[in-house]
Amino acid sequence: MRIKEESDGVSASRNHLVFAYYVTGHGFGHATRVVEVVRHLILAGHDVHVVTGAPDFVFTSEIQSPRLFIRKVLLDCGAVQADALTVDRLASLEKYSVTAVMPRASILETEVAWLNSIKADLVVSDVVPVACRAAADAGIRSVCVTNFSWDFIYAEYVMAAGNHHRSIVWEIAEDYSHCEFLIRLPGYCPMPAFRDVIDVPLVVRRLHRSRKEVRKELGIGEDVKLVILNFGGQPAGWKLKEEYLPSGWLCLVCGSDTQDLPPNFVKLAKDAYTPDLMAASDCMLGKIGYGTVSEALAYKLPFVFVRRDYFNEEPFLRNMLEYYQGGVEMIRRDLLTGHWKPYLERAISLKPCYEGGINGGEVAAQILQETAIGKNCTSDKLSGARRLRDAIILGYQLQRVPGRDIFIPEWYASAENELGISSGSPTYQKSENSSLMNSYTEDFEILHGDPQGFPDTIMFLKSLAELDAVSESERTPEKRQIRERKAAAGLFNWEEEIFVARAPGRLDVMGGIADYSGSLVLQLPIREACHVAVQRNHPSKHRLWNHALARQQAKGQGSTPVLEIVSYGSELSNRGPTFDMDLSDFMDGEQPMSYEKAKKYFARDPSQKWAAYVAGTILVLMTELGVRFENSISMLVSSAVPEGKGVSSSAAVEVASMSALAAAHGLSISARDLALLCQKVENHIVGAPCGVMDQMTSACGEANKLLAMVCQPAEIVGLVEIPSHIRFWGIDSGIRHSVGGADYGSVRIGAFMGRKMMKSIASSMLSQSLPSSSGENIDEYEDDGVELIEAEASLDYLCNLSPHRYEALYAKMLPESMLGETFLEKYADHNDSVTVIDPKRNYGVTAAAKHPIYENFRVKAFKALLTSATSDEQLTALGELLYQCHYSYSACGLGSDGTDRLAKLVQAMQHSKSDDGTLYGAKITGGGSGGTVCVVGRNCLRSSHQIIEIQQRYKKATGYLPFVFEGSSPGAGRFGHLKIRRHISSKLT
């Protein structure tokens, strides 16, 4: 439901209502927008009790009325910020737990009593979850007013901090479900926990003084360019310098604790009224939040913004800002090093064009008043909770319920696509159009290699050809160019050769997390792949982006080799679309920098940490092969392997990047060696503790065959033909998986702990100091038994221990779990070079150690069954092995609600009495904790119909229609590379 953007004001139909308005403790932006709604409620003659942790002046500077009551209570801590730009995800969850979860019972008791004591007619929340539950317990209606909800924000934190925090997200969503409806502000995020929605215009604080009055008071003439620095506190350790500003500019600094500022910086008072100052400025530099974006749009103030890390509200606000031509993104490195000039000059050339309503405070107040007197402001047609546990974990992946959103603005659709609801790559289409297959020769001369008829490769070549058609003049609200493509348009010199590589993702059929324990694994390269284009240019001929050029000019060194990367679809998890660096930054004196330094280099700006997967391949080539890069490098990354699905999107990017770089620099690297090099990128530069099976499959796999590999460390034992009557599918759960997350890493640590313990047990048995689990001593064993124990005392890989030996000697002697500190005291080290034990964390040991031992056996049995006689028993046995693997993941703590649901749906289909089931098994894949489920079934049309039926049942239960992975394609080694040059004739036309 939508409310008209203009109204005649709030006209009270009851003279005196009492509102309880709860305000989240996350920043001033929420408090400042609450002020506008509260002001209009008080103007209408009502009492408003504001429950907040914000300073009183935020409210009293705008509202001087005896009808305003401020109650200083913090019930919602929001996101804990490590500094002005960085959210600490784990600290946020922990603080919320301390603030709102642990004292929950007493909070509810207190709030219910308080609400009854003030005789509240309506509870309003922005956007405190427990307020909705307290209102329900008190028998009072509640409404939320917001552009995001905390279940949406915290869901991403859970993926990084560990699924043991999921209950926080579920509880928050459950609290929100008690809310009657949502008053939704522009710049909104998906909020699946709410039942019904009313959209209102921007809520913006009013101006008190004109631009001319403010400038006169500050003593600043109209000829002076003025930028307002609005970060809500400066980044830690940051010192402003005079040379940061262009000549003749002044900067107004909000919220600064610094006493000494350069002469061209002016410190503002803590309680300065920023709307007036913004309207008097020529542009603003700061971080994106609802308050800054809404007021920048309202006052047509160009906004130079720097991304915040790990705050999923930002892409939606950013896209709205850019859609109305009001935003310029600044790289954090340039912010902190003072390369401001190109961004500020770009900003003042913009002409922001937002013409929408800015009276959202008045409209929202009217709706709240009508609700408080009993009017039903929403339709009953779509009422009812639209949220289940699966959907909550990543609410932004939910597809909209048809008919629920009457109006979907373009800025929202753009942000939604950036967050991965649709394909991450603007170039990827599954088209079999024959005319397209033949058209690439019109654009490029193929000097080496063969596109092999792959539609995605041909589409990638077509997208390259279209880049130079992207022009600045085409960027209007009506015809909005994708900004990654704008950046890519200036990336290549079309007169020079370009090298293109392709690497697919993979479906983990069997093996999964047992790879780091040395298991046999069976992996299928999928149809979806990553393409990377690379070009070398002499530094003097390389086209630099403005900020990179400004950086080089500031160094005064002339033209030096630079790396520039554009990544299509890079907005997933709010990342920057471009990355650049001087290649000399990779050097530490005469030698390449250490991997540890590189890891810190990329981690310093999490919005650009993704570049470690791409640029990290350069450092690995420098370090491991002694390659020196004397030329500038341009790279374009376009991946159709969706992120967070457990199908190795990161390995595809790494393998494609290194393959293209190797081709461009004339390096001959075998597919196996290239995979091992890419694993170093992931383990040591990205910092994800994965095994090598992902990179091996992406590099060495072949279409429609299972790559069989023993991960000790990476020995390919052959390609396994998939019998013609058997087929594999992958079904995406919609729950984001992260191999860098806490759960995957802790399970790996638990497995290595278990190995160390078993080796210690075997060593003790050899010395006859410890009886076996059956009470036997070592001298009771035959020589063969002694040799086995000797081998187990020096066990290199956990998977070399057979299940029966594990059960006979070790199963009863391993603890279920162990505190890291206790383990380190007793064993000193777990002997895993890519993980670090947290002394304060408790690690599961038994399940983590048992899984790879049994998984190795299951994979061997699975491989043998594939070559056995065709029968239903063969398929049933294959499926049973998948199921066993799935539940073993859960025992380790790596299951998820979505993947469990999919496995149960496959079981229901398999055992349905009314249907002839042709699906036989399913398992969670890769690192677990979400992602994709692998399904095995008979290769027939009926199976395809049943997969579609599972899709529909899952969507009905969760609101999310799963993506299905089917089909296969060759690895990077088999594809090789393309060397292309643009046809001069096609460029001229």
pLDDT digits (tens, 9 = 90+) for 512-529: 999 999 999 999 999 999
HSE at residue 51, side-chain half, CA atoms within 13 A, is 26
The total number of residues written for the chain in this structure:
989
What band does 551 get if pLDDT is binned at 50, 70 and 90? confident
Q: How far apart are CA 519 and CA 512, in angstroms?
A: 9
Helix or strand holding residue 924 (H, E): strand 919-924
Mean pLDDT of 404-418: 51
What pLDDT score was predicted for residue 234? 59
Q: Per mean pLDDT, which range of 306-315, 388-397, 565-574, 734-743 is the poorest?
A: 388-397
The residue with greater pLDDT, 257 or 576, is 576
pLDDT one-digit tens code per residue, 208-237:
999 999 999 999 999 999 999 998 665 556
- Candidates 851, 830, 847; CA nearest to 839 is 830
Tokens, residue 676: 């091992």
What pLDDT score was predicted for residue 192? 74
Mean pLDDT of 587-611: 91
Q: How far apart are CA 450 and CA 457, in angstroms?
A: 10
What band does 682 get if pLDDT is binned at 50, 70 and 90? very high
What band does 381 get if pLDDT is binned at 50, 70 and 90? very low
pLDDT one-digit tens code per residue, 870-912:
988 999 999 999 999 999 999 999 988 889 999 999 999 999 8
List alpha helices for 606-723, DSSP H: 611-625, 649-664, 671-680, 693-700
Coil/strand/helix, residue 723: coil
The residue with greater pLDDT, 987 or 259, is 259
**Residue 539 burial (10 A CB sphere; 0-12, 13-18, 19+):** middle
Asked whether 853 and 802 are in contact (CB, 8 A), the reply is yes
Range 274-304 burial, b when 16+ CB lie within 10 A, else e? bbbbbbbbbbbbbbbbbbbbbbbbbbbbbbb
Mean pLDDT of 807-815: 96
Helix or strand holding residue 956 (H, E): helix 941-958
What band does 296 get if pLDDT is binned at 50, 70 and 90? very high
What band does 11 get if pLDDT is binned at 50, 70 and 90? very low
Per-residue pLDDT at 548 exceeds 90 = no
Q: How far apart are CA 44 and CA 9, in angstroms?
A: 9
The residue with greater pLDDT, 305 or 235, is 305
Mean pLDDT of 913-934: 89
What pLDDT score was predicted for residue 248? 93
**Active-site position among 126, 196, 199, 694:** 694
What pLDDT score was predicted for residue 938? 95
Tokens, residue 813: 């002697």
At the second CATH level, the architecture of 18-203+387-396 is: 3-Layer(aba) Sandwich (3.40)
Mean pLDDT of 300-315: 86
What band does 410 get if pLDDT is binned at 50, 70 and 90? low
- Candidates 818, 803, 809, 814; CA nearest to 790 is 809
What band does 644 get if pLDDT is binned at 50, 70 and 90? confident
Pairing of strands 47-52, 18-23: parallel
What band does 388 get if pLDDT is binned at 50, 70 and 90? very low
Segments making up each domain of the chain, as ranges? 18-203+387-396, 211-356
Q: Where are the beta strands (DSSP E) in 545-677?
A: 562-567, 578-582, 587-588, 591-592, 632-639
∠ CA 606-612-617, rounded to 5°: 175
The residue with greater pLDDT, 5 or 854, is 854
Q: Per mean pLDDT, which range of 76-80, 83-87, 537-541, 701-705 is the poorest?
A: 83-87
Q: With left for phi above 0 and alpha for psi between -120 and 50, is residue 708 left, alpha or beta?
A: beta
- Do the domains 211-356 and 18-203+387-396 match in fold? yes
pLDDT, the chain, mean: 86
Q: How far apart are CA 156 and CA 915, in angstroms?
A: 39
Asked whether 389 and 897 are in contact (CB, 8 A), the reply is yes
Kindly report whether the peptide bond that precedes residue 962 is cis, defined as omega within 30 degrees of 0: no
Handedness of CA 21, 27, 32, 33 (dihedral sign): negative
The model's pTM: 0.82
pLDDT one-digit tens code per residue, 947-969:
999 999 998 887 788 899 999 99
89 CB contacts (<8 Å, ≥6 apart)?
156, 157, 160, 161, 310
Per-residue pLDDT at 292 exceeds 60 = yes
Mean pLDDT of 359-374: 96
Coil/strand/helix, residue 375: coil
Per-residue pLDDT at 6 exceeds 60 = no
Q: How far is CA 346 from CA 306, 547, 684, in A?
A: 15, 11, 38
Asked whether 679 and 713 are in contact (CB, 8 A), the reply is no
Highest-confidence segment of 226-240, 382-396, 766-780: 226-240
Backbone angles phi, psi at 565, to 5 degrees: -130, 135
Tell me the percentage of the chain whose pLDDT exceeds 70.
86
Asked whether 513 and 928 are in contact (CB, 8 A), the reply is yes
Per-residue pLDDT at 850 exceeds 90 = yes
Please indicate whether residue 137 is annotated as part of the active site: no
Q: What fold is seen in the domain 211-356?
A: Rossmann fold (3.40.50)
Asked whether 391 and 958 are in contact (CB, 8 A), the reply is yes
What band does 414 get if pLDDT is binned at 50, 70 and 90? low
Q: How far apart are CA 806 and CA 978, in angstroms?
A: 50
Tell me the percentage of the chain whose pLDDT exceeds 90.
64
The residue with greater pLDDT, 174 or 655, is 655
What pLDDT score was predicted for residue 408? 53
HSE at residue 808, side-chain half, CA atoms within 13 A, is 11
